[in-house]
Structure 1
Amino acid sequence: MKSSVVTALTSGVDIEPSIQAMLQANFSARNEGVYEPLSPQQMEPKLLAFLAAQGLAEARVEGFKRMGGGASKEQFVFDLYAGDKFVRKCVLRMDPLESAVVTDRAKEFGVMRAVVDKLPVPPVLWADLHGEHLGRPALITGFIGGVTKPSNNAGNVSGLGTLISEPFRAGLSQEFLKYLQIMHGISPDFDDGKVFQLPNQDEYQAARWQLNWWVSAWRDDAIEGLPIMGLAERWMRDNLPKTSELVIVHADYRTGNYLFDEQSQKITAILDWELAHIGDYHEDLGWIACHQGKTNDGEVLASGLMPLEELCSRYTAMTGRVVDKQALYFYQVLSVYKCVVICLATSARTAGNKHSHQDILLSWLTAAGYAFVDQLICLLEEA
């Protein structure tokens, strides 16, 4: 099958250039053999050699082991020492050959460096952007403590279907919105276009870039077609919203991607910045809305925290930004479309190719994708 990314390059489909290059590189990796993740014992010498190349000749590590969680990246934790002196606890996040979501370490590195003084973000210590030392692109950050949900909470992996229990909702909702406000208030041209391009050619480019990104991913990765995806694409192309203000979009801001302290109910770290880009603030709101938790009486809470109407009204009160209902609805549809792509296309193909350390989880996500198909159908019927 001909790559839709190559087709996009030759036919002038409007996608952010760095995203286009990332998709093409990922497509090229498809013919690689089975991915064989290295054990901690095999990884540790590579890590020490990398640290030495960063000028840490006396570096040594203790307790180097894998971390649980995460559908996209290999994660390790270790204690870093300089000789006999303890430096800090660290986390190594490394790309497998393919994953549930194709991402760019340079973007993750850049945005985390830009927001670390304003948001609770794990400090980025070193980056092996092309995998020259560690074998695969990787970042090393400081370790931040916390939990992704209250210890008595139920919920699926990756934050799907998580409902934050009632005693925690008020405190975490306030923290969640506070940091969303701060993030959207940071200048979107923080790196002068070095890594993050601004979609400012016209008022529709921010939405168009995102739609073309995920349509390309679907066409490249889908194992079998789904008519609803074609209908959704047509509806979105007919209903592209204008963007009145560009902001930093996290693009995966939801329960499950922040850590918090159970006692104080304070968020300690915002995680998983690899999808960050410059775009419309409605996009983050739409993504929050599509990750739903339901109470016992059937009330739907955006990201398991608050009803959608409350999310929008409180966001407007805190930021002064009006939430346009049509723009929000577009990004709700796009968000659910993305979830279908991630689950039924990219995760399924990656697991089938045996290109990840998380084949079992990716196979589970494939089955979970049909819940998002049902959600997409409901949204389009309502539209």
Structure 2
Amino acid sequence: MISAPGGNIAEVTAAVDRFALGDRPTEEFIAEMRRRFPVEPEVDALFTRKMRRRAGPAYQRITVDELNTCMVNMLTDLGIEEFTISGQRWFTGGVSKIQLGFTLEWRDDHGQVRKEDMVVRMDPSEGSNTTSRLREFELLQAFNGLVPVPRVFWLDRDARWFPEPALVYAYVRGVTKPSLTDSGRVSGMGTNFGPALRETLAEQFMQQLASIHTFDLGSRTFESMAVPRTGTTQSAEWQLNRALRIWEEDRCEDFALMDVAAGWLKRNLPPLDYVSVVHGDYRSGNFLFNEENGKISAWLDWERAHLGDRHRDLAWTTHRSFGHYTEDGRDYLICGLVPEDEFYDRYTAASGLSVDPDRLDFYRILNCFQIIASVTATATRVAKLGKSHQDVLLTRVKGMEPVTARELQRLLLEKI
């Protein structure tokens, strides 16, 4: 006879059946997720599309020739004339997107021949992050000239030309870490810029974060982003429900710590005092800089951006995994750039916005919950079903779970 620790056979069978729905979700299951976890319309549409497509075929590797055909079809339909595509090369790095560099020579609307290095950025069949290319396109357009960002050219929002939604933007030269350092090997984690570059980068880092958070929302309308109401908890609810929906749709197991965290987060939703553009992944590893003069040349990876509470960014940027201690071991540097107290002081001075410790704590806990949901649930499910070009890496990132769970436990113990 098989025993079921902590429950009976019927309960275990029910749990197995429940988690199996993640592989082949029914319309009833999808409807339940939408009802239980209301989110922004664009996020809801993306998650619903993801679940309805999940039972479909595994990821099929696209070739350079196939991408060439996609680009030729797109440019032809857009009325671009006399163009030549050359210099195609795959870009490595990152977990969730397929990226191909190429050079385009074409005659523009004014009859001038132009030549640009570009990047096509496209979703796999399913990635570790379900995000909007439209949102990314809109934000890169909005911040052009305000902070360093790649210049965008074209958007394939509904996969009309490419196998999945895609955008095309200008290639930006730069590095994410000094060429002589061996730290920060993975996605900006622990990157040491060295004393010479540190202050030059830090000043830009702080000013550009302030510029993002104080962007004049009255100057532009975003189709892809809903505006949460100030004085309410709507912004926090949307972000929490997004994380909860990911967890419930994708997980393959129960995890009591996540239940405790979800309960605390629901009881402690903070009201919003000011609506900011939130980058969503503002940290070292996501900006390029010129190594000779230390000038930041581009901010990348806007895929998690939304309108909401600036403390979501502040909590993410100050996450311990992105920084390191100074050479003498005395001070911990946020993203390898500035001590934490100095970070908040300089941010307040640059932005004119306050920093609320209680809101920081809420978003620190939510960020830990989101990380665990991404690496334990989504990454595992996507790798299991072979939906991405990064199956090996997606499996590997599950190693972040115990470290993040320990941090989540520590944060909760301080609050409960």
TM-score class normalised by the smaller sequence:
over 0.9
Which moves more between the two structures, 2-11 or 171-180?
2-11
The answer for the alignment partner of 2:103 in structure 1 is 79
Q: Deviations over 1:114-158 (max 9, x none)?
A: 111211110110011111111110000001100111112312322
Asked whether the equivalents of residues 383 and 394 of structure 2 are also in contact (C-alpha less than 8 Å), the reply is: yes
Match of 2:302 in 1: 273
| Residue 201 of structure 1, CA deviation | 7.0
Distance in 2 of aligned mates of 1:211 and 1:281 = 15
- 1:229 corresponding residue in structure 2: 258
Corresponding residue for 1:7?
Answer: 32
SS at match of 2:338: coil
Distance in 2 separating the partners of 1:266 and 1:166: 15
Indicate yes or no: 2:245 matched with 1:192. Answer: no
Correspondence 1:318 to 2:350: yes
| 1:347 alignment partner, one of 379, 401, 407 | 379
Q: How many residues align?
A: 382
Q: What is the CA distance between 1:171 and its match in structure 2?
A: 1.2
Question: 1:370–1:165: structure 2 CA closer, same or farther, 3 Å change rule?
Answer: farther
1:251-288 CA-partner distances (Å, limit 9, x unpaired): 11111111011111111000011111100111110110
1:363 aligns with 2:395: yes
The 10-residue stretch of structure 1 (213-222 or 155-164) with the greater mean CA deviation from structure 2: 155-164
Alignment of 1:89 with 2:117, yes or no, is yes
TM-score (norm 2): 0.87
The correspondence of residues 31-180 of structure 1 with structure 2, limited to 5 A, is 31-82=55-106, 85=113, 87-153=115-181, 154-180=183-209
Q: Normalising to structure 1: TM-score of the pair? A: 0.94
DSSP 3-state at the match of 1:157: coil
Does structure 1 residue 308 correspond to structure 2 residue 349? no
Contact 2:119-2:168 within 8 A present in 1 as well: yes
Matches within 5 A, 1:195-274: 195-200=224-229, 202-274=231-303
C-alpha spacing 1:18/1:190, structure 2 compared with 1 (3 Å): farther
Amino acid at match of 2:35: T
Pair 1:27-2:71 in alignment: no
Q: CA 1:162/1:380 → structure 2, altered by over 3 Å: closer, same or farther? A: farther
Q: Distance in 2 between matches of 1:88 and 1:197?
A: 34
> Per-residue deviation at 1:189?
4.8
Unaligned segments of structure 1, at least 5 residues: none
Distance in 2 (alpha carbons) for counterparts of 1:119 and 1:88: 21
Call closer, same or farther: CA 1:226–1:207 in 2, change over 3 Å: same
From the CA coordinates, give the structure whose radius of gyration is larger.
2
Kindly indicate whether the alpha-carbon contact (under 8 Å) linking 2:324 and 2:335 is maintained by their aligned counterparts in 1.
Answer: no
Pair 1:162–1:370, CA change in 2 (3 A): farther
Asked if the contact 2:144–2:151 (Cα under 8 Å) also holds between the matched residues in 1, the reply is yes
Deviation at 1:96, TM superposition (A): 0.4
Identity of aligned residues (%): 33
* Superposed CA offset, 1:299-323 (max 9, x none): 4332222232221111111112110
- Any gaps of 5 or more consecutive residues in structure 2? 1-17
AA aligned opposite 1:58 = E
- Which AA in structure 2 matches 1:294? H
Q: CA RMSD in A?
A: 1.9
Higher alpha-carbon deviation: 196-205 or 297-306: 297-306
CA contact (8 A) 1:146 1:260 kept: yes
Distance 1:369 1:14 in 2: 26
Of residues 302, 312, 318, the one that matches 1:289 is 318
CA displacement, residues 187-235 of structure 1 (integer Å, 9 cap, x when unaligned):
2355435321111175211111101111110111112122111111111
Residues 243, 273 of structure 1: alpha-carbon distance in 2 compared, 3 angstrom cutoff: same
Contact kept? 2:230, 2:271, Cα under 8 Å: no
Q: Which amino acid aligns with 1:93?
A: R
SS in 2 for 1:58: strand
**What SS is found at the alignment partner of 1:88?**
strand
